Amino acid sequence: MAKEGDDLTKKENYANIRSYITHNKGGKWELIKAPVKDSEGNKIDCFLEEGCSLNLEIYSSNGRYAPPYSQESSIGIIMAVGNVGYELDRKRPDRINTYLSRDGGLNWNEVKKGAHIYEIGDHGGLIVMAEHDKPTREIYYSFNEGKTW
C-alpha cells in the first residue's frame, strides 16, 4: 500500500515495469487505476494523476507468480497479482497482493494480502484461491464474484 512519506512511493525511485490496459483493441492505453481500499479496509492513497497505479505481474519467467486469469464463461472477472505504486515491485514480495476485477479490468479490488493462485468456475459464481508457493491447509472461496471470501 502506498503511504505518504514512504520512499517506495516516490516516483524518482522507479524506472522499470508499469502495467497499462486498453479497452479498444490498443487504440488507447491507460495506467490501471488502483483500488481505493485494501483487503483489510485501509485507505490506499494512490492516484493516477500523480502517476501511481496498480501494476500486475503479467509474465513470470520463473513461475513465481500466477499470471492474470479469466474464464471465457465468466465475463468481466479477472484475477491477478501485483502491487500498488509507480512500478511493478519485484524486489519486495511483501508488497505483492492478489486483486480481482468484475468489470473487465476497469476497476480492481485487493482481495487478499500476498500472492495467491486462483481458479474461476460456474460462470464466476465460484472463485477459489490459495496461498502461492507455500504449503497450506486453507483455501479461500467466494460465491459472489469475490465480494466476500
Instruction: Write the pLDDT tens digit of every residue in 17-38.
Output: 899 999 899 999 999 999 999 9
Q: Is 49 a residue whose pLDDT tops 90? A: yes
* Total tally of structural domains belonging to the chain: 1
Structural domain boundaries, residue 41: 7-142
- The pTM of this model reads 0.85
Q: Is 116 a residue whose pLDDT tops 60? A: yes
Confidence of residue 134 (pLDDT cuts 50, 70, 90): confident
| Cβ atoms within 10 Å of 9's Cβ, excluding its own | 20
In a domain, 148, yes or no: no
Q: Is 105 a residue whose pLDDT tops 90? A: yes
Mean pLDDT for 88-93 is 85
Q: In 71-147, where do the E strands start and end?
A: 78-85, 97-101, 109-113, 116-121, 126-131, 140-142
Percent of the chain with pLDDT over 70: 87
Q: What was the pLDDT predicted at 141?
A: 96
In a domain, 2, yes or no: no
Q: In 4-72, where do the E strands start and end?
A: 20-21, 30-31, 53-56
Q: Is 131 a residue whose pLDDT tops 80? A: yes
In a domain, 149, yes or no: no
Kindly report the average pLDDT of the chain as a whole number: 87
Question: Which residues are registered as beta bridge partners of 131?
Answer: 116
